[in-house]
Amino acid sequence: MDSTDQGWTAAQTDALTFLEERRSAFSKDHMTIWNLHEPSWREYRSSRWYADRLEAEGFAVERGTAGMPTAFRARWSNGPGPVLAGYAEYDAVPGQSQAPVPYRAPRPGASPRAAGHTDPHSALGMGSLAGFLAAKHAMERHGITGTLVYFGEPAEKMCGSKPVHAAHGYYDGLDAALSFHPHSFPALTNGCFWETTSAPYWSRIYTFHCDDPHTWQSEASGGTVAHVHAMARAPGAIDAVCLMYTNSKMMKESMLPHSGSWTLNEFIPIAGQATADNIAPGIGQIQYSMRAPTLAMCEAVFDVLDRNAEHIAAMTHCRVEKAWITRTRPGLPNKAFAKLTFANFARLGPPVWSDEAKAFARDIQRSLDLDPLEEPFLEEMEKLTPPWEAEDAFRRQLPAWQLNYAADDYVDYTWHAPTVRLYVARPTLRPPHPGFRYHEWTRNAMGGVPACIDPMWSKAAQVIATTLLDLLTRPEALAEIQAEFRERTGGGVGGTNWLPPLLPPDFKAPINYHWPEYVETSRGYDWSIP
């Protein structure tokens, strides 16, 4: 293919022109998703928007994939060639409602406890979608053959859909996959993972049922009263949840050695569902979610939690159900893919923020009674981070044995096709002095201000589009990437070092639990914690 003066092929130049001409339209699309701010497993409007849009763009869309109502797979082919995948995420986080204003305020008309985009996934999805649509445009115009597969991935904050898609075979047959995320690590603002990748994330929900409270004691001790009001009440499901919570907290230091970064968090979806009478609460639930560097650490912790649940159920006259919410694998790196992607990033240059964006950032600082800074954003936001330099920074803060850090369910792509993990700087305020931390609402607010957030997703779209076209037109580059994948897995999918999905192929996604969501009532569209 002919190259332009800037070194891009004609197809890559057309893809970049496509993105520039449509930047304003994509910006409005981003705000559409940002304003829907739907939480995990309940992203009905957001997923419908993406599916409808991809159908309008000529993709064949399968909705409700792997039994997940808010998931989809879209496919477009221009003939034989590589099969390349990417995805959108669109779930928001409960309790993070924030208006796009430079002071703390929930969205107008929304509960302060409603969901808001934190990473933000609204921009993550838009950057990826725009990049894929730009590559499709160039493929059509220049007769480039190959297939684009685009997934809708709900519930990322629970690491929810990707392990399910993987278990159900939806990633089979892919030649490569691109994963984009707003920057999370100070050491990696604009670049790619190198060797240290994301860690496993496991989550399990324990449901305690008190089915037969009347059998707690053999006879009533309440004289002539013929019902449970005068009986010694069975402890029941609330006591079970309380005991599970407190005892597992106390046992944390007995779960794992004190090395390696790991976290264990809990959430109580249901507590009781009974009156304040002497009737024992019939149901209670507690969910545990863990990030850990190794699968063995995850197994050790959930062995303890399982034992705790069984003993506590016996103590409280309950039975317990244990069900996985998710189980992800550790990420598999691909340095050849990172090198190719970062080369395109370096040619494009880092994102740049306007005076309008900086003015909004200074307004936030004023609202916090801080002296506004002339340069209110982190300096690193407009600098590239070579993957090998980010790797050095990670290795300095991690023990030598720890190869995986933090967590994200994109890792399940990495075991089915070579996958790159791209990071692009998101707007982040510069602290007024070392050790100062801004509240999360400041980041959430900037996610809804186009001047602040557009540089991030639009730069990601450029990197994704140019890299997709390289994979489609440079067979030697794709061959090198796939050779590394085969080497790391011991022969590719099913190889001697390959790790299969950790969920069974018939796994049913946890869509029917009482997750927070928006509901239609006589009061209108309202936030609800069932």
Residues 257 and 167 in one domain: no
pLDDT confidence tier of residue 275, bands split at 50, 70 and 90: low
Q: Write down the residue that tokens 């950057």 correspond to.
A: 127
Residues 320 and 379 in one domain: no
Please give the C-alpha separations between residue 353 and each of 238, 262, 361, 452, in angstroms, as whole numbers: 51, 35, 11, 7
Residues 435 and 338 in one domain: yes
Reported as a single tens digit per residue, the pLDDT across 27-84 is 999 999 999 999 999 999 999 999 999 999 999 999 999 999 999 999 999 999 999 9
Report if residue 30 sits inside a domain: yes
Judged on CB neighbours under 10 Å (0-12, 13-18, 19+), 364 is buried
pLDDT for res 411 = 98
pLDDT at 8 over 60: yes
Q: Where does a domain end: 299, 327, 355?
A: 327
pLDDT for res 3 = 40
Residues 319 and 294 in one domain: yes
Residues 284 and 151 in one domain: no
Residues 485 and 351 in one domain: yes
Report if residue 503 sits inside a domain: no
Reported as a single tens digit per residue, the pLDDT across 154-190 is 999 999 999 999 999 999 999 999 999 999 999 999 9
Report if residue 521 sits inside a domain: no
Residues 390 and 335 in one domain: yes
Please give the C-alpha separations between residue 234 and each of 162, 238, 273, 279, in angstroms, as whole numbers: 41, 11, 15, 8
pLDDT for res 109 = 87
Exposure string over 10-46, b if 16+ CB within 10 A, otherwise e: ebbbbbbebbeebeeebbebbbebbebbbbbbbbebb
Q: What is the mean pLDDT of residues 375-400?
A: 96
CATH code of the domain in which 263 resides: 3.30.70.360
337 compared with 214, residue with greater pLDDT: 337
CATH code of the domain in which 179 resides: 3.40.630.10
Reported as a single tens digit per residue, the pLDDT across 132-144 is 999 999 999 999 9
Report if residue 59 sits inside a domain: yes
Q: Which two tokens stand for residue 155?
A: 């519930």
Q: What is the mean pLDDT of residues 221-233?
A: 64
Residues 189 and 93 in one domain: yes
Report if residue 505 sits inside a domain: no
pLDDT for res 227 = 63
Closest Cα partner for 333 from 201, 198, 191?
198
Report if residue 3 sits inside a domain: no
Residues 86 and 102 in one domain: yes
Q: Where does a domain end: 473, 489, 505?
A: 489
Helices (H) and strands (E) in the chain, counts: 14, 18
Residues 41 and 173 in one domain: yes
List beta partners, residue 377: 429
Least confident of 210-224, 227-241, 296-310: 210-224
Residues 223 and 193 in one domain: no
β-pair type (197-199, 115-116): unpaired
Report if residue 403 sits inside a domain: yes
Q: What is the pTM of this model?
A: 0.95
How many separate domains does the chain show? 2
Report if residue 494 sits inside a domain: no
Residue 300's domain comprises: 202-327
Closest Cα partner for 49 from 29, 64, 78, 66?
29
State the DSSP string of 122-144. Answer: HHHHHHHHHHHHHHHHHHHHHT-
